[in-house]
Amino acid sequence: VNELLKLIESNKTTILVLDWNIPFREVDILENEVNAKVVMIDHHYKTEKPNKPYYYNPVALGGSEEDWPSTTWVLKWLLNHQVNLKVLLGLFGDLEVKALELKLYENLIKEAIEDRGLNVNELIEASKILNSLGRIGNRKLVERAPSKLVEYGENLKRILRDREWINAW
């Protein structure tokens, strides 16, 4: 993990591929085409054994999909972060209501939601709004989303009231 973080911080030609289960041969092509290191962080099951030096996927390495339900969950662990709104949005974005069936939900997620005064249905709706940005194919909305999410911080209501996103959805 420390090696990954050093690479990302020190190398301006590092590409992060998050939550995108692309074949390793495609990663080789990408690295060669753009002359950059590719760091892959994912949670999707892969039948291929990872042979990349900058690859982290606990499910592909034998972990349980139940324990690693989203890439934001993997990032939370890698970066030693607490459960926050972005982690929850990623989790519900991947699983929607199925997230409520996780053992993690009863053991950790439910408490994090309650501690923040959040509503599960609103989390699911906000996740659907965010997922729709990519599905509608509006690149500008997708590119602006990260900075808006940083601006909105832990305020779920601002995501749910974002006129630009709602009108596009």
Percent of the chain with pLDDT over 90: 51
Number of H helices, E strands in the chain: 10, 3
Residues near 44 by beta carbon (within 8 Å), at least 6 away in sequence: 19, 21, 57, 59, 60
**Residue 35 scores a pLDDT above 70:** yes
pLDDT in tens, 83-131: 999 999 999 999 999 999 999 999 899 999 999 999 999 999 999 999 9
Give which of 107, 108, 85, 109 is closest to 97, Cα–Cα: 109
SS3 71: helix
pTM of the prediction?
0.82
pLDDT score at 4: 59
Give bridge partners of residue 14 from the DSSP assignment: 37
